[in-house]
Every structure is written in C-alpha cells, then in structure tokens.
Amino acid sequence: KGIVLDEPSVVSIRHEGGPNGKKTIQAVGREAKAMLGKVPGNIEAIRPMKDGVIADFTVTEQMLKQFIKMVHDSKTFKPSPRIIICVPCGSTQVERRAIRESALGAGASEV
C-alpha cells in the first residue's frame, strides 16, 4: 500500500513588500484550510488546483514539495517518491500533463 497522504490542496501564502513582492508559503493542506477566511491582509489562502485543473503552476509545485516533505522527513536523503494523483475523469490530456509535470518538478520520480 505504501504511504498515503490525504490533504486538501490549499496553500497559505505570505506577501512581503506588496502584491509584486516576495511570496512565502506559510502552510499547506489542513493547516492552510483552517486559515481560509481567517487570515490577515498580508496572508492569502488559495487553492492552486480547482476541479482538477492547475490554477497556479508554481504554487502547485511548491505545495507538492511540502506534501513530499510531510511524508519523507529525511535530512540526509533527497526523496524521489512515486506519486499517484487523482484527477477528474473529464480532465483533458493537457490538464493531466500539467499536473504530471508539476509533480515531477516537485521531486517525484514517477507519476
């Protein structure tokens, strides 16, 4: 069966230096979902994937990196897991390819 991670695709991002400034990920998954609607002005909680479609490729990749860290907390070895991601049956090949590329960019060895 392997390791199973069941987390919502929500990310909270801190904006430093205005809207065009540096963006730092504060939380992902359940922790970020708990922040929805309760965050101060400089922190934004977003869903980088909506209905199986990537709305923000960079944030999706960062979110997946954080999810990999959650299950592979190794300081010595860089994890390269095989990942299974559920997508809606109505998604297009382009949308599926974008999700696959995002997961590979996050460090997956196979998607």
Please state the pTM of the whole predicted model: 0.82
Predicted pLDDT of residue 78: 73
- DSSP labels, 37-97: T---TTEEEE-SEETTEES-HHHHHHHHHHHHHHH---SSS----B------TT--HHHHH
Q: Counting beta carbons within 10 angstroms of the beta carbon of residue 64, is it exposed (0 to 12), middle (13 to 18) or buried (19 or more)? A: buried
Predicted pLDDT of residue 75: 67
Predicted pLDDT of residue 60: 92
Tally the domains of the chain. 1
Task: Please check whether residue 6 lies inside any domain of the structure.
Answer: no
Tokens of 12: 């909270």
Q: Which domain holds residue 45?
A: 11-105
pLDDT profile of the chain (111 residues), mean per 10 = 82 82 89 84 85 87 90 73 87 92 92 90
Q: Domain containing 92 — which CATH number?
A: 3.30.420.40
